[in-house]
Amino acid sequence: MDTKQSRNHDLSLERHVAALMTILAEVHGEDQLVLKAGKLDSLELLQSEKIEDRILALERLVHDDPTIVDQRTPEEAVQVLEELEDYLADLLAKRTVEEELEQKVSAKMQERHLDYIKELRMQVLKEEAGPDNAQTLKKYAELEMLEKRSLSKGTAELMRPQRLEEVVGQDEAVKSLLTKLSSPFPQHVLLYGPPGVGKTTVARLALQYAKEKEYTPFSQDAPFVEVDGTTLRWDPREVTNPLLGSVHDPIYQGAKRDLADGAVPEPKLGLVTEAHGGVLFIDEIGEMDPVLQNKLLKVLEDKRVIFESSYYDPHDPQIPKYIHQLFTKGAPADFVLIAATTRDPSEISPALRSRCAEVFFNPLTPQDIVEIVRSAAGRLGARLAPGVAELAAEYTIEGRRATRLLADAFGVALYRGAAEHGQLEITVADMQEVIQTARLSSYAPTKASPTKEVGRILGLGVSGYVGSVLEIEAVAFPSREPGKGQVRFNDTAGSMAKDSVFNAASVFRALTGEELSNFDLHVNVVGGGSIDGPSAGVAILAAIISAVKDLPIPQDIAVTGEISLRGRVKPVGGLHAKIYGAKQGGVKRVFVPKENLDNLPTSVEGVEIIPIEHVLDFLRQIFPQDLPVAN
């Protein structure tokens, strides 16, 4: 090859190497190419004037191999450059495809990013606006307007006692409850008594009293949770139990969405936990489901509610800590139970009674009702005309009903314009109008009197802690044929009263020596009321003797007691209520079985309590001169 051809060949190689180097710089970038040349120990080769050195550097850069050291001859250089050219072509094609893919990926990412931003914006707008629309916002505005509108305080709330000192007629019951609740070791309590005597009011105020004592465990924020036993509904499958709490499974019972999505059961706490540290008051606990009562007893013992669910997995890391706590340790339920009932203690679960102290509220007397009406009138800002309070006391023994009668009479007085002339005055006519409109009848239709009558005596009955006076009468006629007389008795009074008649007939023969079969005898309980128990035995015997012997009986006395075939007076129940009922009826003396004296009140104002052990003890006092006893 001559010199000119050699020069042209070298020039061609120079251009070829320069072109490939330019392409390589575009692929890697000039700065990166210089760094790469430094790492491959090719930087000096790139700056060399020898074409062979630059080809070697190019070869190292393309193959990324610093171990290539062989110099290429001019003939070999052409082949090497062609191979490098093919390699770079493949590299450029690959890079082009990658760039196109990256552009597509970038475009997709940009599109997704814009969608995501749009979704976030919609979510923020939805959270700010909520699920409301124009219609729902209108309903919300209407509710807000209703909230701003209110009437004055209801009369029942206004006239309810605000302090324990204002509770009328229950001094002993209030003291008994306070001693059991206001203690370092408060007890569960059962309150017995008729409706409308203040059981619920006293329970509320008793907790406030206990909070003021430093030695009680109640804090100032101790809760008072109130519930009615008649309205407590629960599912034996524990699907729902508002008293003790229940578990909502994530599939069928509607656990919260975030819990349902993870198949996590949701415990719902009950009223016993809400009352933790305070008082749970259950009114009319005698009406509560017996099974639910037993479950409540378990909580009283453990002071904790245990939750169970087949959906609970203790090893599930997705379950919140509070749910783990409820399923492993349960919910705290350390409270004092105060339960009220109008039922007799014999109708209450013995297991519940054994865990509770018992407090008995007395029926209200007429004087108590008078005091309640006068106090309520003061809270209403009204003046009572003489006789208004006493008139209300004739038609009710419930404090709640007495205040309701007063509220109605207050409305009548307003209607007739009594407030236009100064302080409003409620008159007897106002109260009479209320009584007539409500079609009420006197609570004590049978009244005692200072007279004497033949064949009539007052007995005593009780129903639901409310005592009443029973009018028992008897008439006797000689039978048409000796020994063939008949004894009649109204069946509506009950089988127990009929047994008392037959017992009295046997005792009559034993005392007088006469055959009752020689008389046609008719015994009647006026009003046809059912007598639950044999407590009318003594009264029926006295009425029979009075009718047969024509002996008058004082009408200001009353007697109760079962009579045995040997004439002994046996104890009966409900003596407290019976004595208060006798007082309501104006009775001055009450004869009771001697064996009942241990359970009787020490004194009842206006009523003399006389114990009798044998029927003769009673007969000697009502027939002092003409006692019909055989020798």
- To which residue do tokens 């001859």 refer? 73
pLDDT for 505: 82
pLDDT for 486: 84
Q: In angstroms, what CA-CA distances link 375 with 95, 370, 392, 393, 399?
A: 100, 9, 13, 14, 11
Instruction: Confirm whether 578 is a catalytic residue.
Output: yes
**In the predicted model, what is the mean pLDDT of residues 554-573?**
89
- pLDDT category of residue 259 using cuts at 50, 70 and 90: low
Closest to 325 (Cα-Cα) out of 257, 255, 267: 267
pLDDT for 432: 92
Least confident of 25-34, 307-316, 563-572, 579-588: 25-34
pLDDT for 181: 92
Give the chain's mean pLDDT: 82
* Domain range annotation of the chain: 3-98, 170-360, 366-438, 452-622
Most confident range, picked from 271-285, 356-370, 477-491: 271-285
Condensed to tens digits (0 to 9), the pLDDT of residues 260-285 reads: 555 677 888 899 999 999 999 999 99
Q: What proportion of the chain, given as a percentage, has pLDDT over 70?
A: 84
Helix axes 3-28, 51-63, angle to 10 degrees: 30
251 class by beta-carbon count within 10 Å (0-12 exposed, 13-18 middle, 19+ buried): exposed
Condensed to tens digits (0 to 9), the pLDDT of residues 68-109 reads: 766 666 666 666 776 777 777 777 777 777 777 888 888 888
* Element of type H or E holding 456: strand 456-463
Q: Out of 500, 535, 546, 583, pick the active-site residue.
A: 535
DSSP 8-state secondary structure symbol assigned to residue 323:
H
In whole angstroms, give the CA distance from residue 67 to residue 94: 26
Choosing among 3.20.20.70, 3.40.50.300, 1.10.443.10, 3.40.50.1370, the CATH entry for 170-360 is 3.40.50.300
- Residue 60: φ, ψ to 5°: -65, -40
- pLDDT category of residue 322 using cuts at 50, 70 and 90: confident
Residues 6+ apart with CB under 8 A from 346: none
Q: Residue type for 463, please?
A: S
Q: Is 224 helix (H, G, I), strand (E, B) or coil?
A: strand
pLDDT for 607: 85
Condensed to tens digits (0 to 9), the pLDDT of residues 35-46 reads: 777 777 777 776
Instruction: Confirm whether 246 is a catalytic residue.
Output: no
pLDDT for 227: 92
Condensed to tens digits (0 to 9), the pLDDT of residues 190-204 reads: 999 888 888 988 998
pLDDT for 386: 92
Closest to 78 (Cα-Cα) out of 9, 21, 23: 9
pLDDT for 613: 92
**In the predicted model, what is the mean pLDDT of residues 399-405?**
89
Q: How many Cα atoms are found within 13 Å in the side-chain-facing hemisphere of 616?
A: 9
- pLDDT of residue 57 exceeding 90, the answer is no
- pLDDT of residue 380 exceeding 80, the answer is yes
- pLDDT of residue 176 exceeding 90, the answer is yes
- pLDDT of residue 152 exceeding 90, the answer is no
- pLDDT category of residue 178 using cuts at 50, 70 and 90: very high
In whole angstroms, give the CA distance from residue 125 to residue 119: 10
- pLDDT category of residue 495 using cuts at 50, 70 and 90: low
Q: Out of 578, 583, 588, 603, pick the active-site residue.
A: 578
- pLDDT category of residue 491 using cuts at 50, 70 and 90: low
Least confident of 118-122, 244-248, 319-323, 511-515: 118-122
pLDDT for 41: 74
Q: Would you say the pTM of this structure is higher than 0.85?
A: no
- pLDDT category of residue 222 using cuts at 50, 70 and 90: very high
**In the predicted model, what is the mean pLDDT of residues 145-165?**
74
- Kindly report the number of other CB atoms within 10 A of residue 23's CB atom: 17
Condensed to tens digits (0 to 9), the pLDDT of residues 593-628 reads: 988 887 776 667 788 899 999 999 999 998 887 666
Most confident range, picked from 44-53, 214-223, 264-273: 214-223
In whole angstroms, give the CA distance from residue 614 to residue 594: 9
600 class by beta-carbon count within 10 Å (0-12 exposed, 13-18 middle, 19+ buried): middle
Which overall architecture, per CATH, does domain 366-438 show?
Orthogonal Bundle (1.10)
The rounded Cα 214 to chain-centroid distance in angstroms is 28
Residues 6+ apart with CB under 8 A from 547: 454, 455, 474, 475, 476, 521
In whole angstroms, give the CA distance from residue 465 to residue 117: 74
Least confident of 114-123, 253-262, 397-406, 620-629: 253-262
169 class by beta-carbon count within 10 Å (0-12 exposed, 13-18 middle, 19+ buried): buried
- pLDDT of residue 67 exceeding 80, the answer is no
pLDDT for 580: 82
Q: Residue type for 526, please?
A: V
Q: Which residue has the higher pLDDT, 220 or 235?
A: 220
Produce one character per residue of 550-578: b if its CB has 16 or more CB atoms within 10 Å, e if not. Answer: ebebbbbbbbbbbbbeebbbebbbbbbbb
pLDDT for 557: 92
Residues 6+ apart with CB under 8 A from 266: 247, 248, 250, 255, 256, 259, 323
- pLDDT of residue 421 exceeding 70, the answer is no
pLDDT for 261: 58
- pLDDT of residue 126 exceeding 70, the answer is no
Q: What proportion of the chain, given as a percentage, has pLDDT over 90?
A: 22
Provide the sign of the torsion angle of the four alpha carbons 409, 415, 416, 421, taken in this order. Answer: positive
Condensed to tens digits (0 to 9), the pLDDT of residues 329-348 reads: 989 999 999 999 988 888 89
pLDDT for 276: 94
Instruction: Please give the CATH topology (third level) of the domain spanning 452-622.
Output: Ribosomal Protein S5; domain 2 (3.30.230)
- pLDDT category of residue 154 using cuts at 50, 70 and 90: low
